[in-house]
Chain A
């Protein structure tokens, strides 16, 4: 009971903050929209089709949904660094709620915010020439949520080690962008240089983006690991397992920090 209350309160605060800061939302979806409406069409004309009826703009659309979810949930998780910097974390840490519920509340808050942003991007589908049925949209929600919870937890985990804003910025550059670029957001995962192939397949984000693309574009599984073609459910399982491990690690390290 105590734990539920704690989770709810931590989550609720993140939602209020998000709502108070609506302008940031505009900022957060600017980059994805640029990719969708400038980068995508710009390259589409030169690149031809990447699949039956799938030009480059359509191809990256699900990737951009995934990227939006991934980046915003990660940022929301790492925002714990700001709470530490501004002192609010102490108010949270001396409160009679468990550290575990703080981590869950944070991850849920991050996921909620990320899900909202992903859904906003989703609404642009018709402009790209993709029609999403209600069923497809509903199927996307749990996929986005799973990715968001995992990345949000990763953010919280890192935040327990990051003690300064400078380090925070370094982590963003060194971790988040490589994760996005090496995940199949922007290109098909076949015929990559072998060093890249290895990195792509070690990157958990790859397994989060792939199912979103499969569902949105209705294409068959597009990549294989060690000769085995990954099915939708196998991809989901990878993300779920990684997510679970990360959130457990976040709980542990958050509970043991000073």
Chain B
């Protein structure tokens, strides 16, 4: 057994001319929570699809649990659990039947099968609904069912492609509690992609991916330290003028976000009182914050990831709506 449960080397996936995954390499240790952070179309899902044997890489190698994803597919599949970005339930079966199907194909021992299914369904608060057809579930309930299913066979590696998209905060928290607990108890390795910064924050290590390339990889703390400085947001009576003054006086780059000016400084606590005292344009509001992963992303790519968040939620809604229309 190697030290790493996931090893990816120079992975490339092309769709025609499009290079969806561009020479990515990384390793994930046993029991680690590893996060993929990146905007829509960055190549996150494509990478997961290769790792879970659904797609063949154009070139490069990847192993999971020591098994090659191209040549030892069935061992790889037995080692992993998945929650896909898009729905993958049989909507015509009940929740319980979906779980039983999964238990059977993953060879969950008959002795523990029913008990484990019940445990998972109760945890996701779906036990009362177990006999209902999945198409009558709400979006959040379907998501929870997929999570319950992905965990059912106690995989070594759990892939979560935006697992909590569209779930309410309480459910998200409960699911995260369970995931963390599972890692503690069973040493499951978790590979996740997310648009939620607070979720990315829970990862042990994050890889930032953009246009198929891995542009940074480190712990969330270290990534944030990379941005380094504290961030000041200020709203003034005359933003145009204020921006000029700040730029000249403090030699710093300024960004506009709505009607706020945003710039970063070292040692913000000491800077703030001095700044307010010396500034002659009327200040309407001012705030100071530590750098977040949003800022990391912005610094690395020059774009904000938060906007993408909204867009992908919308995309998921449109997708589900489209499905419903078709039946």
Contact = CB atoms under 8 A, between A and B. Distances in A.
Interface in A157-211: 165
Interface string B84-127: 10111111110001000110111100000000000000000000
Nearest to A1: B107
Interface string A1-24: 010011011001100110011000
Contacts of B106: 95-96
A5 B107 contact: yes
B91 A86 contact: yes
Nearest to A258: B55
Given A5-B105, A87-B87, A21 B77 contact: no
Nearest to A95: B105
Main secondary structure of the interface of A (DSSP, over half): helix
17 contacts: A5-B105, A16-B97, A17-B90, A20-B93, A88-B90, A90-B54, A90-B84, A90-B88, A91-B101, A93-B53, A94-B54, A95-B105, A96-B78, A96-B105, A98-B74, A258-B54, A258-B56
B89 A87 contact: yes
A17 B106 CA distance: 20
Contacts of B74: 2, 96-98
B54 to A, nearest CB: 6
Contacts of B200: none
A88 B88 contact: yes
A9 B56 contact: no
Contacts of A20: 92-93, 133
Contacts of B274: none
Contacts, number: 76
Interface of A: 2, 5-6, 8-9, 12-13, 16-17, 20-21, 83, 85-88, 90-98, 165, 258
Nearest to A83: B90
Contacts of A16: 93, 97
Nearest to B104: A9
Nearest to B88: A87
A138 B323 CA distance: 43
Nearest to B52: A94
A94 B155 CA distance: 13
B323 A96 contact: no
Contact of A9 (B92, B101, B326): B101
Nearest to B97: A16
A8 B103 CA distance: 13
Given A87-B86, A88-B88, A90-B54, A17 B93 contact: yes
A212 to B, nearest CB: 31
B45 to A, nearest CB: 11
Nearest to A89: B88
Given A85-B323, A91-B88, 4 more contacts: A13-B93, A86-B90, A86-B91, A87-B89
Contacts of A8: 104
A87 B54 contact: no
Nearest to B80: A94
A195 to B, nearest CB: 39
A92 B88 CA distance: 9
Contacts of B105: 5-6, 9, 92, 95-97
Contacts of A17: 90, 92-93
- List the 4 closest pairs (A to B, CB-CB), nearest first: A87-B88, A95-B105, A96-B78, A96-B77
Contacts of B78: 96
A7 to B, nearest CB: 11
Give the interface centre of A8, A12, A87, A258 by most chain B CB atoms within 10 Å.
Answer: A87
A8 B92 CA distance: 19
B305 interface: no
A4 to B, nearest CB: 11
B326 A2 contact: no
Nearest to A102: B105
B203 interface: no
A87 B101 contact: no
A2 B105 CA distance: 8
A98 B56 CA distance: 16
A95 B93 contact: no
A13 B107 contact: no
B77 to A, nearest CB: 4
B82 interface: yes
A5 B104 CA distance: 7
A98 B90 CA distance: 20
A162 B106 CA distance: 28
Nearest to B75: A96
